[in-house]
């Protein structure tokens, strides 16, 4: 809700038409909540419980809390993970649309911010993390035409083919 308020105010201030504000529907907001419930933070916190829990609460309470947390996380994974696609369809939220990967970045981020990120990327992060400019250029040239979707589709088809094959050919055709 707060996101939509901010997007509305920004859209009005920039004089953009309402359809270019990229507002989140109620269904999209619900799905953000729905897909976010997995319990990773709860698992970490529960694993961090010390021996003091057993001292204060009783024998093996720490183990019982950890077991209950993992059962709850497993249930969340099955229920929420298993119903994601169904709910996306029921809420008429488009899936698999062919849109540029940077559509929101280009439409939602101020140009000065984009230039700042590009400068930070090119002048600081890549030289620091990758190193030599010639190596960077070589990597960019080598992968400039790589279609990520095609690579993922090919890998997926190889994996599904391997799982359908007999065990002997599966070990030969599966990627390492």
Q: What's the pLDDT tens digit per position in 114-157? A: 999 999 988 888 888 877 767 777 777 777 667 767 777 777 76
Packing angle of the helix pair 40-47, 61-90 (nearest 10 deg): 170
Residue percentage of the chain with pLDDT more than 90: 20
pLDDT at 163: 55
Provide the whole-model pTM: 0.54
pLDDT at 171: 47
Of residues 152 and 30, more confidence is placed in 30
Please state which of the ranges 7-16, 45-54, 96-105, 145-154 shows the lowest mean pLDDT: 145-154
Largest CA distance in the chain: 64
Q: Does residue 66 register a pLDDT over 70?
A: yes
Mean confidence (pLDDT) of the chain:
82
What's the whole-number mean pLDDT along residues 46-50?
89
- Give the separation between CA 138 and CA 81, rounded to whole angstroms: 40
Nearest partner of 90 among 34, 38, 37, 39, judged by Cα? 34
3-state secondary structure 57-107: HCCCHHHHHHHHHHHHHHHHHHHHHHHHHHHHHHCCCCCCCCCCCCHHHHH
């Amino acid at each position: 809700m707060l996101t939509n308020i901010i997007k509305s105010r920004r859209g009005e201030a920039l004089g953009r038409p309402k359809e270019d504000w990229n507002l989140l529907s109620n269904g999209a907001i619900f799905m953000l909540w729905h897909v976010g419930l997995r319990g990773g933070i709860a698992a970490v916190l529960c694993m961090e419980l010390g021996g003091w829990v057993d001292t204060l609460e009783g024998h093996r309470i720490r183990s019982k809390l950890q077991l209950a947390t993992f059962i709850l996380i497993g249930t969340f994974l099955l229920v929420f993970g298993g119903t994601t696609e169904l709910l996306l369809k029921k809420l008429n939220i488009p899936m698999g649309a062919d849109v540029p990967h940077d559509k929101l970045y280009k439409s939602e981020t101020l140009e000065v911010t984009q230039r700042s990120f590009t400068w930070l990327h090119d002048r600081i992060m890549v030289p620091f993390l990758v190193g030599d400019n010639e190596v960077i250029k070589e990597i960019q040239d080598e992968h400039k035409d790589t279609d990520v979707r095609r690579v993922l589709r090919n890998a997926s088809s190889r994996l599904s083919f391997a799982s359908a094959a007999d065990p002997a050919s599966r070990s030969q055709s599966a990627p390492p």
